[in-house]
Chains A and B, each alone.
Chain A
Amino acid sequence: MAYSDKVIDHYKNPRNVGSMPKSDPQVGTGMVGAPECGDVMRLQIKVNPETQVIEDAKFKTFGCGSAIASSSLATEWVKGKTVEDALQIKNTDIVRELSLPPVKIHCSVLAEDAIKAAIGDWKRKRAESESQPEASTAAAQGD
């Protein structure tokens, strides 16, 4: 099966590979996996608490070229968006952009799930810090 040029580009020059500190209250971490193939993907976002804009995004994916390209593209797309806008990204958008074949659609599903999981994690953290402001400040400093 031939990969599209865009998949190959993201695979060879993945954008935003790396990690951010999980315990940072501004960082949301999404860890997801595809049971069909055993791929695992971690996507992290850093959100500006005032504007709710995603200022940075990092990923690391152990999987096939399409999974890497999907998550690389996802980090590019979420950067600069508000969390609410980022939640609107659909796996079908990724499929279209990368011209993924039907057998690789689950890779795009994985990337969409990773975005949602990262945002979910960030929202949970924020809710927790609002309910216990002192404890969370202490935890953040402890890092």
Chain B
Amino acid sequence: MQVSPSPSPACWSCHAATDGAHFCPACGKIQPLASADYFAFFGLPQRLQLDADDLERRYLSLSWKLHPDNFVRADQFERDLSLELSSQLNDAYRTLRDPVSRVEYLLARLGVRKEGQTRQQAPPELLEEVFELNESLEELHMAREAGGDGDETAELRRRLEEAGRGFEKKLADVDAELAAASRDLDAAMDGARDPLLARLNEILNRRSYIRNLVANVARELQEGEPA
């Protein structure tokens, strides 16, 4: 969990210590990526709570400094670095700006969240609920496709709107849980982090079902809107 990258990298041009900065403090030359970590890219510690305005300022300042336009007269090596770092900057900003993808990123980085290998299950009640609502969605969809009778479709719509509101509430609740667990993780000592990381992962898992449903319900209700 060290933020600072490998032991004091040296400038490729003047060999002064760069301390992981994007530009050499001695000669000012652009430097290769010192750390793959998105937090470190902005000079930030690996903390989940971050000040969005501060992040934006860092992003704007770096995008100005790293912009390929500044390197049109530099040699190929520096032009390539400018492109590479600008692209990394955009990925890092997109990821860290959103509190949910920030958690996903940190967990993936720490090896807690592995794509395609998870076998953790959501609570069975949630799966049941998600399944049932998906069935109602399908029912509404088919009733509409069949041009079914107005009253029936209206009743289905009403039920879906209600269920949709329920799940929007759940989404807000799970986001609040995620924010609270993020605060706990930032405050935790090293030894206490593992259970909190597992908890964050469990919250993210539940969230993905709820988020999908909210999106599906919204899409279905929108499509069914009388023209």
Contact = CB atoms under 8 A, between A and B. Distances in A.
A36 B118 contact: yes
Interface residues of A, number: 18
A109 B128 contact: no
B116 A105 contact: yes
Contacts, number: 56
B213 interface: yes
A62 B138 CA distance: 10
Could you tell me the dominant secondary structure of chain A's interface residues?
mixed
Interface of B is mostly: helix
Contacts of B117: 106, 109
Q: Which of the listed residues B117, B124, B128, B209 has the most CB atoms from chain A within 10 Å of its own CB?
A: B209
Contacts of B121: 32-33, 113
Contacts of B118: 34-36, 106
A40 interface: yes
Contact of B131 (A35, A40, A106, A109): A40
A106 B208 CA distance: 15
Contact of B204 (A31, A35, A40, A109): A35
Interface in A29-47: 31-38, 40, 42
Contact of B127 (A32, A103, A106): A32
B205 interface: yes
B209 A35 contact: yes
B225 interface: no
A102 interface: yes
Interface in A97-134: 102-103, 105-106, 109, 113
A104 B81 CA distance: 34
Interface of B: 115-122, 124, 127-128, 130-131, 134-135, 138, 204-206, 208-209, 211-213
Q: Closest 5 CB pairs between A and B? A: A35-B205, A38-B212, A62-B134, A38-B208, A106-B116
